[in-house]
Structure 1
Amino acid sequence: MEKKKKYIGHFISFIKLLIPSLVLLFIIRGFILIPVPIDGSSMEKNLSQGDMILMEKYTSIKRFDVIVFQLPDGEIYVKRVIGLPGDSIRYEDDQLYVNGEKTAEPFLKNNKSKQYDTNPYTTNFELSDLINQDILEEDSYFVLGDNRRMSKDSRSFGAVESKYIIGKAVFVYYPLKHIKFIN
């Protein structure tokens, strides 16, 4: 009888820990860190088809952050922020210019080193050619995939309004060989 009471006491203690843990897990998974699958090759070599990432909703978006957004057509995209509200963006001879200044893109190093032809990795463009504006509007972001030759991004669908941004990608958790923080 004493042994049975001991087991019941352990079981009740376990339940007292389990319920708050599950509630906390539900809150974190549902509202803070949300899993998102990578579908497609537009972010290759940094994110791969089939990777599972964690996205968080509550930090501000900065240049070169990887964001998750859903356009009005219902498609969910994962792309890198190149232009912030108020920026002018252009590419010339495979070089990014933000507000007229050369801007390095170190996250493209692996992608560019694998290219053996003479074509530019990112084709020339000016923001005004793509969205008929010289600078991005107050709530608009210009996004590109890291795999520039194979990405459907702001060059085809225009700037992304902040109301369509779901969150910022922060961590790859699956497959295990790809585990890393997303910078």
Structure 2
Amino acid sequence: MNTKIPKKKSAKPLLDSKRKRTKKVGKKRKKNQIIAKNQNSSLHKKKKQRRKKKATFVKMLRTTLLQLIIAIIIVGLIVYALSFFLFSVPKVSGYAMMPELANGDRLFVNKLETIKRFDLVVLKANKQRDLSVRRVIGMPDEDIYYKNDQLYIDDTFQVERYLEKPLKDAHQDSMLLTGDFTLNQISGAKKIPEKKYLVLGDNRRYSTDSRNYGLVEDTDIIGVVRMRWLPLQSMKSF
């Protein structure tokens, strides 16, 4: 009896299949590497662009801030320079102008305005040359006197409307708000000389003014009060 011996299968097809799989895996790996490289490159570019944008923004912000600071300094210097010639913003010190002005009020003062009767003015008074606010009562070439709480200018009675309430309160207490005096008593003159003014505080019983230190030179007057701007709730123009 003849027995057939089975032939062994060739290993070549297996090797070819293995090579194909290896080659396929290699191509896929290479493709993935290329994709990853491209992704990394794209990510790097995006990061670089973001850094560039951030650097540009920071540079622009610094430039803007620098320009703003320079502008503020220039404006501040201009305002400071103008304040010597055009205006000032002093603070009220004391209670001589109550009830019109209170201690600590901030004012806007026009240095170029012509002085008129009953204007509030900022002036350098007394030996210490302290800044104070007073009301102009007497003008150059006028005769001034007070009698029974009434102001007379060249023998003509003048109404002081800003003293309406203080006068009423004083008279209710049977007191004078402004003690009697004449121009001659406080200055030795019959008329107020040129370039001089008689000033009084509205708080007449407690104010230090021309009754104490005499007439005020026009060169000692800083300017005319045109506004109280602080406190805001009491803002008022004069």
Is the structural similarity TM-score above 0.5?
yes
Q: In the alignment, does 2:133 pair up with 1:78?
A: yes
Question: Which residue in the other structure is 1:47 paired with?
Answer: 101
- What is the aligned residue count? 182
**Structure 1 spans left out of the alignment, 5+ residues:** none
**Are 1:107 and 2:171 an aligned pair?**
no
Task: Pick 1 or 2: higher relative contact order, CA cutoff 8 A, min separation 6.
Answer: 1
Provide closer, same or farther for how the CA distance between residues 11 and 164 of structure 1 changes in structure 2, counting only shifts above 3 A.
closer
Equivalent-residue separation in structure 2 for 1:111 and 1:31 (angstroms)? 36
Aligned to 2:193: 137
Q: 1:91, 1:123 within 8 Å by CA — same for their partners in 2?
A: yes
Q: Which residue of 1 aligns with 2:115?
A: 61
Describe the superposition over 1:3-27 as per-residue Cα deviations: whole angstroms up to 9, x where unpaired. Answer: 5365467557646754553344333
Q: Which residue of 2 aligns with 1:98?
A: 153
Structure 2 Cα separation of the partners of residues 19 and 98 of structure 1: 49
Q: How far does the alpha carbon of each residue in 1:121-163 deviate from its partner, in whole angstroms, 9 at most, with x for none?
A: 1111111122111110111100000011111111111111112
**Larger strand share, 1 or 2:** 1
72, 75, 89: which one aligns with 1:35: 89
The answer to whether 1:22 aligns with 2:111 is no
Q: What letter is aligned with 1:21?
A: V
Contact 2:126–2:213 under 8 Å retained in 1: no
Distance 1:8 1:175, change over 3 A: closer
Distance 2:138 2:106 in 1: 25
State the TM-score, normalizing by the size of structure 2: 0.68
Paired-residue identity, %? 31
C-alpha contact (below 8 Å) 1:144/1:151 kept by paired residues: yes
Task: Report the RMSD for the aligned CA atoms in angstroms.
Answer: 2.1
Distance 1:72 1:112 in 2: 27
Structure 1 stretch displaced more, 18-27 or 99-108 = 18-27
Distance across 1 between alignment mates of 2:90 and 2:136: 18
Q: Does 1:127 align with 2:183?
A: yes
SS in 2 for 1:81: strand
1:45/1:110 contact within 8 Å kept: no
